Structure 1
Amino acid sequence: MTVKPGLYRHFKGNMYRVIGTARHSETMEEMVVYQALYGEMGLWVRPRNMFLETVERDGKIFQRFEFVEE
């Protein structure tokens, strides 16, 4: 599954803008590059598989990041 640029909501509620994807220079692992839309608006990277995975919190299953809009 691919990750398209746009707005995403983290399962804890914060909003992020996905800028695109990149590859780790040593392992070639696909990474998602995204920016927080709160606080200092920092840039982050996370492995694509982790970005797309589900997480459990308080006995409920959530997508770690849910696509909101382009």
Structure 2
Amino acid sequence: MTTDATGTGTGTGTGTEPYVRVGRSGLFVDRVGLGTMQFGWSVDETGAFDVLDAYAELSGNFET
């Protein structure tokens, strides 16, 4: 994937590239992040694993 000076993906020009660069750091992250603050509080363990499984099936990742 190539990026412009702002870190926006420019590989296809559609804005649908899976990763974007964080500033000038060289770090690339998913365009969509998964917030898990509710896990263990209002979402039980089974529900949390269901959400994580769905996120992984949609190619989400936690790697940095």
TM > 0.5: no
In the superposition, the TM-score normalised over structure 2's length comes to 0.30
Higher relative contact order (CA 8 A, sep 6+): 1
User: Between Structure 1 and Structure 2, which shows a larger proportion of strand residues?
Assistant: 1
**Greater C-alpha radius of gyration:** 2
